[in-house]
Each structure stands twice: as C-alpha cells, then as structure tokens.
C-alpha cells in the first residue's frame, strides 16, 4: 500500500490539536463543466445513492452527467456571489470564527474547513493539518442530524485518508447535534429575530433535506432526528401543533422519499387559504443551493402562485453570533481531555527535562 507523503518528523515537537469543519461541497464555479465534476464525485458516492453500483454508474455517466450539469449550473448562477459559492463562503467564515471564539476561551487550535465533495478536499486539509503539527484532530461534520449519506460519508473520507497515512493522528468525530440545547436556542433566536424585524407569518414550516424512505427502514436515524429538532424548536417557540409543519425537500429519482414534501405542502396550505408562511431549514448549517434557490426561489414561487400572499425565508444560522456560540460550545465539549494550547509540551519531554535537571543537581 502506498502511504501519503509525511512531513519531516521532529522528535520533541509539541503536539497540536485541530478542528476540521466539514460541509457537503459545491462546484468551483457556476458552469456546466465545474458542476459536472462536482456531481460526478457527489453522485458516485455509494453512501449517497444506494442502488447496485454498476447499474447506477451506467445511469450516472450515460444519462445524468450529460443532462443535469447545465441545469444545475443555471441554478448555481442564480445564487452565486462576488465572493463565490455561498456554501463555501459561509463555511469558511464559520471556521475562522470558530478558531477565534475558541481562542477567546483559551484554546490555541488549528481550525480549517473542508468539503466532502469538491475543494478544499478533506484529505488535502488533513494533510495540511499534519504539516502544521496536528497530532489530534476533531472532525466536525456540519450536519446537525446524522445520516449515512452525510455524516457517515465524512467519516468514510477521513478513514480513507487514515488508511493511506503512516502516522495517523488521534481522531474524534461529532456525529450529531440535532438536540443540542445551544443549537436549538440559536434556531429560536433566528426565528424570533425574524419575527421582530419582519412580523410573524400564519405558519412556520421547517424544511429538511429529503432522504429515500428506505433509509429509515434500514436503521438510519435521520428522519427521527429531524422530527426531534422540529419538535424542540416548536416547543421552545411555544407553537401549537397546527402552527408549524416539518417537511422534506430535494427529491431525486422515482423512489419513495420521506414525506411530507415541502413544495406540495406549501401549495396545499395556500390552497386552504393560508396567506403567509415563514420557512426555515434547520438541517442546513449554512445557506446553499438547496436553501437559496430551491426554497427562497422555487418554493416561494410555488406558494405565491397557489394563492399565498407572503412568503418569508429565514436564513440558516451561517455565522450568526448565536449559531457560532453553539458551534464553539459543541467543539469545546468534544475537545475535553486533549491539550488545546500550542505551547503544551509532550509529557515525555517534560519528564526528560525534569530527569536531566535532577541529574545535574546530584554530585
């Protein structure tokens, strides 16, 4: 087996602790060619599409990658900013704020962000952390609710890197934070702040990314964790059951997916006379194509076309103060027991110095 190139090893180097914040990914540019590269990597992951491998690869390369990239690129063009992809921008900012806020709490850590698909790649960022001296790495997938298609896929990528690495750092993974009190409090703060600024709609819809229904039967906890997040948020906001809905978006293919679906639910509500709706996406840590285009453009248009009068999209937590406090506390909790100051010396080196000092003091 070929191992990754290792940085020069220096005996006595102080260990450093790092955090790697991992999100899903994005094309490098809103073009058909860049989107094709991104989709080829994303949709080839067996965690994402769980059908017989050979059959799926024939469909992917024979049909989907010939048709879908141009359509997806047009969607990305509608949300692209001068700084680049919104997901890339927000995740990068989150990593910087996370390092700063942990630093304010006395933790001198290396913090980087990575994308499961696209750039910066997880393996490349892990290599860079090792070059900077990281011997302990906390991997923080930016997915509040655990799913095999998201969280486990990040673990796969880290494990594949470790398989090819000779001197593997200590690794920890945060699998979920769907019911973390500070995460729920951040969502509550986001909704209430929106209501104070813009007024309150007749219904709060909480839209989560969809998954094939069979994943629930196979033991994936994602559906249950989404429902729990929705329930905890509704309870904290004091909402009665008839004043909120939990829905699922982003269907793909003809298989049965988790229901109820977001856009049909919005159309149904408008058809029943609901005039205004607020919509939040608690399963996304940062705004991206699925929130800015699918929800704030397509879902908005569907609701208004069906008779609704006002549609308000409540942005993701992004780099909001409450959201970053939640992320910082989450990382700090999972870092317990690890040295988190860059000046910390290995215990062995400290003992060697103490022994040497004792030997020099003896006659």
pLDDT at 251: 86
Is 263 in the same domain as 295? Answer: yes
pLDDT at 7: 62
Is 154 in the same domain as 22? Answer: yes
Number of domains into which the chain is organized: 2
* Residue 32 belongs to domain with CATH number: 3.40.50.1400
Is 64 in the same domain as 148? Answer: yes
Q: Is 341 part of any domain?
A: no
Is 95 in the same domain as 195? Answer: no
Is 123 in the same domain as 166? Answer: yes
Q: Is 8 part of any domain?
A: no
Is 217 in the same domain as 91? Answer: no
Q: Is 123 part of any domain?
A: yes
Is 173 in the same domain as 196? Answer: no
Is 142 in the same domain as 225? Answer: no
In the chain, what's the furthest Cα-to-Cα distance?
94
Q: Is 351 part of any domain?
A: no
Is 145 in the same domain as 218? Answer: no
Is 200 in the same domain as 289? Answer: yes
pLDDT at 344: 44
Q: Is 349 part of any domain?
A: no
Is 57 in the same domain as 163? Answer: yes
Q: Domain residues for 256?
A: 181-314
pLDDT, tens digit only, all 363 positions of the chain: 667 766 655 666 678 999 999 999 999 999 999 999 999 999 999 999 999 999 999 999 999 999 999 999 999 999 999 999 999 999 999 999 999 999 999 999 999 999 999 999 999 999 999 999 999 999 999 999 999 999 999 999 999 999 999 999 999 999 999 999 999 999 999 999 999 999 999 999 999 999 999 999 999 999 999 999 999 999 999 999 999 999 999 988 778 999 999 999 999 999 999 999 999 999 999 999 999 999 999 999 999 999 999 999 999 999 999 999 999 999 999 999 999 985 444 444 444 554 455 555 544
pLDDT at 20: 98
Q: Is 64 part of any domain?
A: yes
Is 89 in the same domain as 218? Answer: no
pLDDT at 252: 80
Q: Is 208 part of any domain?
A: yes
Q: Is 259 part of any domain?
A: yes
């Amino acid at each position: 087996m070929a191992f990754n190139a290792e940085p020069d090893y220096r005996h006595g180097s102080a260990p450093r602790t790092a955090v790697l914040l991992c999100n899903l990914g994005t094309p490098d540019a809103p073009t058909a060619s860049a989107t094709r590269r991104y989709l080829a990597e994303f949709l080839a992951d067996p965690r994402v599409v769980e059908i017989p491998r050979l059959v799926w690869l024939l469909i992917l390369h024979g049909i989907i990658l010939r048709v879908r990239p141009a359509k997806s690129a047009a969607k990305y063009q509608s949300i692209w900013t001068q700084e680049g992809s919104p997901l890339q921008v927000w995740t990068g900012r989150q990593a910087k704020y996370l390092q700063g806020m942990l630093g304010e709490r006395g933790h001198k850590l290396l913090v980087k962000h990575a994308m499961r698909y696209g750039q910066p790649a997880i393996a490349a960022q892990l290599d860079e952390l090792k070059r900077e001296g990281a011997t302990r790495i906390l991997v923080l997938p930016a997915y509040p609710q655990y799913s095999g298609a998201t969280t486990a896929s990040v673990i796969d990528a880290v494990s594949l890197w470790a398989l090819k690495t000779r001197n593997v750092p200590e690794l920890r993974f945060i699998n979920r934070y769907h019911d973390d009190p500070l995460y729920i409090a951040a969502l509550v703060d986001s909704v209430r702040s929106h209501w104070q600024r813009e007024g309150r709609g007749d219904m709060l819809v909480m839209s989560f990314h969809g998954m094939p229904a069979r994943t629930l039967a196979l033991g994936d906890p994602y559906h249950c964790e989404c429902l729990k997040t929705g329930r905890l948020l509704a309870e904290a906001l004091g909402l009665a059951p008839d004043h909120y809905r939990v829905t699922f978006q982003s269907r793909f293919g003809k298989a049965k997916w988790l229901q109820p679906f977001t856009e049909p639910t919005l159309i149904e509500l408008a058809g029943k006379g609901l005039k205004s709706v607020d919509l939040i996406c608690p399963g996304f840590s940062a705004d991206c194509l699925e929130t800015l285009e699918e929800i704030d453009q397509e879902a908005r248009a569907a609701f208004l076309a069906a008779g609704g009068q006002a549609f308000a999209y409540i942005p993701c937590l992004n780099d909001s103060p409450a959201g970053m406090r939640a992320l910082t506390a989450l990382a700090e909790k999972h870092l317990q027991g690890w040295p988190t100051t860059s000046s910390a010396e290995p215990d062995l080196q400290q003992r060697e110095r103490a022994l040497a000092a004792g030997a020099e003091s003896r006659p």
